[in-house]
Amino acid sequence: MDLLDAKEDGIGTTACTKEGEEDSHDASSGLPGAEYGPVAVALLKEAQSLRDEATKNREGLHRESRVPRSTRQIDRDNQTAEALEMRAIEFVDAAENISISVTALNDIDADLESFVSGTAGGINHGRLRKILKAILATKGINEQRWWGGLLNGNDLRKYLRLAREILMLLRDALIALEEFSLQAIDAFIDAHLKTMEMLSKIGELMRAARMLTVAEIDELCTLCEAYGQILRSRLKTNEALTPKAYCLEVEIPMIARYFGTVGLFGQDGGEAAHPKWKNAANLSRCITNAKDRLRSTRRRFEGEQRCETFEWAKKTRVSRKQRESMAAAAAAEGVEE
């Protein structure tokens, strides 16, 4: 029984309605409420419209003429109706899959909330976050408050680079609590240390703004694939990787193998070139014509880029005053001798 048939029979679908909760479906439209997600609701509405259109085709209501239909017209209308009904079934199946995903995401949010608030129990409770935060503070690693309290940029790279040292301090702190077994603590530390060291090396190779060697490309691809396998081993049944994890597992190795680099396509190079472009623009700001000003800025910027690899011999110029003073000093030394 699909979602639309369930609504017609007055039966609530159990995919997103939990036991003991009120059914949040819209009784006037026969469609599920917001708990199914807006995409699922839109698909179900489209499926209902397709079914209505199929009914009109079967009954011949879509034809303006009131003349009885011929056998050929009836067969053609029935074929069109069957195609519309098949399309509606596909939409309903897609809506059911989306509703299941929405339920899974809600469960993940509940688990995350219990983890942060400290109600999950075991080794993953709220105090773990406080202990880790204190350890990060001793290493000069700060959470970026303007980005949801997450680690970003240099802080994140430093966190991954010092992963072993940080996790060893965390292990000592957990042992000092005397609330967890040593086996559970070691299993927790080992599981996170392996992935963090892999991410540190992956990030180093990804951000390298140069062509990678064959050995580095092989290492990057191997690490990305291994990291994806670790994530998949921790997923529940029928769960998929997040878009970023899929990009890290599949697309990054593909880019590295095809182009021989990943960092040259990143934003670090553009950010580093921004102040150089600004300096070149300042030297050309007196040009009134916008096109000429842009052309001059571009030529200056490109010239500086090309000349960065040159080794210029430093030339020194001695002024006349310095030469005279040096000659006088040498004469004075000769007289003293």
**What are the pLDDT digits (tens) for 278-326?**
888 999 999 999 999 999 999 998 888 777 666 767 777 778 888 888 8
- How high is the pLDDT of residue 32? 47
Kindly report the backbone phi and psi dihedral angles of residue 26, in degrees, each rounded to the nearest multiple of 5, phi listed first.
-80, 110
pLDDT at residue 258, as a whole number? 92
Q: What is the arithmetic mean of pLDDT over 42-61?
A: 78
Identity of residue 147 = W
Burial 271-286 (b: 16+ CB within 10 A, else e): eeeeeeeeebbeebee
The tokens of 321 are what? 């005053």
Q: How confident is the model at residue 22 (pLDDT cuts 50, 70, 90)?
A: very low
* Local confidence band at 194 (pLDDT 50, 70, 90 cut-offs): confident
The structure's pTM equals: 0.46
Average pLDDT, the chain: 76
Q: For residue 58, count CB atoms less than 10 angstroms from its CB and return exposed for 0-12, middle for 13-18, buried for 19 or more.
A: middle
Instruction: Tell me which of 321 and 109 has the higher pLDDT.
Output: 321
* Residue 337: strand, helix, or coil: coil
Which residues have CB under 8 Å from 118's CB, separation 6+? 125, 126, 127
| β partners of residue 26 | 31
Q: Tell me the β-bridge partners of 9.
A: none
Asked if the model's pLDDT at residue 189 lies above 60, the reply is yes
222: pLDDT strictly greater than 90:
yes
Cross-strand bridge partners of residue 144: 150
Compute the distance between CA of residue 129 and CA of residue 260 in angstroms, rounded to an integer: 39
Mean pLDDT lowest for which of 42-56, 80-94, 122-136, 214-228? Answer: 122-136
CA nearest to 29, candidates 42, 14, 20:
42
Weakest-pLDDT range from 117-126, 159-168, 262-271:
117-126
Q: Do the Cβ atoms of 164 and 197 come closer than 8 Å?
A: yes
Express each pLDDT in 198-210 by its tens digit: 999 998 898 887 8
Question: Within its chain, how far is the Cα of 130 from the centroid?
Answer: 26
